[in-house]
Structure 1
Amino acid sequence: MKRKIILLLVTLWISIFIISGCSMMPHLNASAQTVIDTKKELLAEIENALSSGKTKISFVTSDLDQTDFDTLNQNIEGFYGVVKEYQIKSVKFLNKSYVTLNCEISDNYYVEKAFFDEEDIPEEREKARDLYEACKSFLTSLQSKKRSDYEKEKLIHDYIVSNVAYGYPGGKKEPEGDAYSAYGALVLKKAVCNGYAEGMKLLCDLSGVTCKMISGTADGEKHAWNLIKLDKEWYHADLTWDDPEPDETSRIMYTYFNVDDTQMKADHKWNAALYQKAEGNEYNYYRKKDLLCEDYKSFRSKCEDILEKKSPNSIQFMVKDYDQDTYSDDNLQFILRYSGASSLRMQIAGKTPYTMLYFKLQY
């Protein structure tokens, strides 16, 4: 009889344990009520938590495994922070895993809280305070008059391209550091692609322009750039590739300013399933300025019209039919005749049929 009672109690305990979803196991996180079973849901949950300043994220999953967590920081935007470590506690017979992500919040989060909610930046976040002052200084000039989102975006693009040099503030490559942050771009004025993209997003956010970061590869190397939303349509903007090397503050190019997916795919790759489709054309720089040329004849006509009205220090066009024979030195001599310049230097960027020709004129 005593043995039957013991077996009955054990059976009852197991039943309660299963019904409660392991809540009686002390080493599992009983508060993890959120269920996440896809990589897309996981990334969205992390982005939402980081943008809210949360340093810990807990949830339950049945389908995700360790391989899904090993590359998290490569797939999230990272603007508001990153995942520093994760813990997985699995219960095999329930086919459940209890996951806790520990996160680190970025300076960008504190800068935006200070601007939007007038919250004090924590005393220990010195870089965040310096970044706040750098943003405030630029925004004062930007907001001096009413501007459209396109005008704001272009001014931000031009400011970063003109003032930031590609490279590492410390002079040497580091796996992590200021070069990858908005702080590196906007305060130290030296950054790599992720720093350019963070600086762009931060200034766009503070200016009311909808902007996201996107990561992928460009010419086979890891790369980051931005997605911009203007009048309900999305565009790509790659400030790093619009910034010439060696750095020249007076030279601003727009090869990758507000381009669509088709043009971007010529030399960039990304996981399209994770991002909005960019199909906008209206606010592409060369279309908006009527500098997009179908062929050499169109290029020459537009070029002559500009040079007859003024003598600019530089001109640039997007041409769809570029090849060395068509745009040879001999065929470009008309620029000197029409402008009165003594010499010109041409720079080429982008791939056919999206080739940018930039001419520097000397008088």
Structure 2
Amino acid sequence: MDLKKVTFYVVSILLVALAGLVYADEIKLDVASMAQTLNIVPTKEETVKIVYEALKAGDETVRVQYVGSKKDIEAFAKSSVEEAFLIDDKESTDDFDYMKNKYRGYTAWISGAGMYTIHYKFDYSETKTQTDWVNKRIEQILKELKIENKSEYEKIKKIHDYIIENTSYDLTVKYNSAYEGLKNNVTACQGYANMAYKMFEEAGVNSRIITGIADGEPHAWNIVQIGDVWYNIDCTWDDPIGGGKHSNQYDYFLKSNKDFKSHERDEEYRTEEFQRKYNMTDHSWK
């Protein structure tokens, strides 16, 4: 913490003391310790980083400080979480889309006045311990598939087929994580998409998780990159319910948007910016 920040917080505390809200001899001026304990972060960037680290670690709670207008605090709390999901550490597949899609939501409450504390409580479909198990299991699976020197297409097909042959769709939608898909061989669309995303990325294939509506219901699927263009792929819908091993389908495998009209993306994946960054193919893979 730089000197300006230290001065700001010490002065703020002293002003509170002078106002008679606390006794001066109760004030602790160990600013470094205070910052560590309270996560005092006067900048938005630092707030987002703290939220990101908490989410990646699977922490259930975290609190951050906010200095500003009370009317803006709700938007600040929400956008800090949203921006944390945009961080993509290329050395890890635990953040970005995977982190966003194993996260169920949060509750937040505010305390204080002038300098506020935002208290977050996060809910996940998969714990950090479970994610660590997923990483080890995927490492084993990719070795078994022997795809290290294969083409992007071959890697995608092998992973697609593995997921379909070893996973059953959970009609109760009770299970929806990659962990449950890999550990218990049963999950819903979110679990399929998370498994595929992490396996594609670990195999060296660029991928994203897309959410939206399919057949009138909330749904999740993937896009993958081959060469300079991206393709839609839905392992869930290519896995016939009750089909079991050797019943693979390729109806939703490496498709263009034109051949994927049953799936409607959420707005964030339909923006011009997103479409420029993820240039979709004009033609499905033949």
Give the TM-score normalised by the residue count of structure 1.
Answer: 0.51
Aligned-pair CA distance for 1:33? 0.6
Which residue pairs with 2:178 in the alignment?
182
Which residue pairs with 2:281 in the alignment?
281
CA offsets per residue over residues 70-114 of structure 1, 9 Å max, x none? Answer: xx79x967734536754422556x4x643132446776855776x
Structure 1 residues 111 and 148: CA distance shift in structure 2, 3 A = farther
When the two chains are superposed, the root-mean-square deviation of aligned CA atoms in Å is 4.4
Which residue pairs with 1:135 in the alignment?
138
Which residue pairs with 2:56 in the alignment?
51
Q: How many residues align?
A: 237
Aligned-pair CA distance for 1:240? 0.8
Aligned-pair CA distance for 1:161? 1.6
Say which SS state the counterpart of residue 239 (structure 1) adopts. Answer: coil
Distance 1:158 1:215 in 2: 21
Aligned-pair CA distance for 1:268? 2.2
Q: Which amino acid aligns with 1:228?
A: V
Q: Which amino acid aligns with 1:13?
A: L
Q: Which amino acid aligns with 2:209?
A: M
Distance 2:259 2:169 in 1: 23
Distance 1:272 1:85 in 2: 20
Structure 1 residues 239 and 262: CA distance shift in structure 2, 3 A = same
Distance 2:63 2:233 in 1: 34
User: Are residues 1:197 and 2:160 paired?
Assistant: no
Residues 112 and 206 in structure 1, CA contact (< 8 A), matched pair in contact too: no
CA offsets per residue over residues 28-85 of structure 1, 9 Å max, x none? Answer: 9853315449xxx96x97556433555544445552528975xx79x96773453675
Structure 1 residues 259 and 146: CA distance shift in structure 2, 3 A = same
Which residue pairs with 2:152 in the alignment?
149
Distance 2:154 2:53 in 1: 29
Which residue pairs with 1:33 in the alignment?
41
Which residue pairs with 2:168 in the alignment?
165
Give the TM-score normalised by the residue count of structure 2.
Answer: 0.62
Q: Which residues of structure 2 form unaligned runs of 5+?
A: 1-13, 20-26, 29-34, 86-95
Distance 1:145 1:85 in 2: 38
Aligned-pair CA distance for 1:250? 2.5
Distance 1:146 1:183 in 2: 27
The partner residue of 2:98 within 30, 54, 79 is 79
The partner residue of 2:120 within 86, 92, 101 is 101
Q: Which amino acid aligns with 1:279?
A: N
Structure 1 residues 259 and 208: CA distance shift in structure 2, 3 A = same
The higher radius of gyration belongs to: 1
Residues 36 and 59 in structure 1, CA contact (< 8 A), matched pair in contact too: no
Residues 161 and 243 in structure 1, CA contact (< 8 A), matched pair in contact too: yes
Aligned-pair CA distance for 1:246? 3.9
Q: Which residues of structure 1 form unaligned runs of 5+?
A: 1-11, 18-23, 114-127, 290-363
Distance 2:120 2:126 in 1: 19
Residues 79 and 106 in structure 1, CA contact (< 8 A), matched pair in contact too: no
Structure with larger RCO (C-alpha < 8 A, sep 6+): 2
